[in-house]
Structure 1
Amino acid sequence: MSNRAKSPGFTLIEVLVAMLVFGLAALALIRLQGAGIRGTAAVDSATVAQIVARNVAVEAMTDPRPPAAGRSEGVEVNAGRRWRWVREVRPTGNASILRIDVRVADPSGTTWGRLMVVRPPDAGA
């Protein structure tokens, strides 16, 4: 028999196991938070790029003169960031109706937004 009295409480091994479980749970929560932040940043970039694409398309739609067929490029600043846009104008089966494709990318070249609109013959008038 042991001379030590049985005292209430946790043993050292129980405390270490509890700390290990708590640490693993905390690490999982930190990784989850990081994934959420990355997802939010991607949604923000896609939303702003889509706004830029719409701005470029609306310019082409509301200009009194139809845009020239072919490719044009430019840079627009929106939400404090530079966005590179490419607009491609192509005729459709009807020569007076134009198809306008807009692609928007960030400075690294990652495409975040795309938009296709059709300019009818009386647009911009």
Structure 2
Amino acid sequence: MNRNRGFTLIEVLVALLVFGLIATAAAEVGSQYIGSYERVRDKTLAAWIAGNRINELRLDEALPAISENSDDMDYGPFRWQVTTAVLATEEPTMRRVEVTVARFREDGSEPLPVHTLSAFLGEN
């Protein structure tokens, strides 16, 4: 009698099911890694932009006027909207500055806020 046997159909289906589950889990982990990388990249670039804006105001000779303005800029491979709000404090020789950085999306819709940085500036 010839005892050479292959896999049964049930064994093949179970092996395919196990492989499918492993492949699905690996794809999910890869997707989460890419999303996490993009968030960290955007947050890092936005923090640098906000920090640069605060330092520009610190380097000015005069205390900034109470105001709010928004500028668009290219930084890295993206276009950003930088909103700077200079607010009064109870101390007249100090200002509170809030810089909000938002990244423009590829589809041209409203920019998505990524990072906000606050600081206090005083007279030199």
Structure 1 moving runs of 4+ over 3 Å: 4-9
1:40-119 correspondence runs (5 A): 40-107=37-104, 108-119=110-121
Give how far 1:90 is off. Answer: 1.2
Asked if structure 2 preserves the Cα contact closer than 8 Å seen for 1:104 and 1:113, the reply is yes
- What SS does the corresponding residue of 2:96 show, helix, strand or coil? strand
The RMSD of aligned alpha carbons is 1.5
Residue identity in the other structure for 1:99: R
- What SS does the corresponding residue of 2:118 show, helix, strand or coil? strand
- What SS does the corresponding residue of 1:50 show, helix, strand or coil? helix
**Once the two structures are aligned, what percentage of the paired residues are identical?**
30
Counterpart-to-counterpart distance in 1, 2:56 and 2:77: 21
Structure 1: runs of 5 or more not aligned: none
Counterpart-to-counterpart distance in 2, 1:80 and 1:33: 23
Give how far 1:76 is off. Answer: 2.1
Counterpart-to-counterpart distance in 2, 1:70 and 1:103: 14
Structure 2: runs of 5 or more not aligned: 105-109
Moved more, 49-58 or 10-19: 10-19
Q: Give 1:11's aligned residue.
A: 8
- What SS does the corresponding residue of 1:95 show, helix, strand or coil? coil
Q: Which of 23, 28, 45 is the aligned partner of 1:31?
A: 28
Give 1 or 2 for the bigger CA radius of gyration: 1
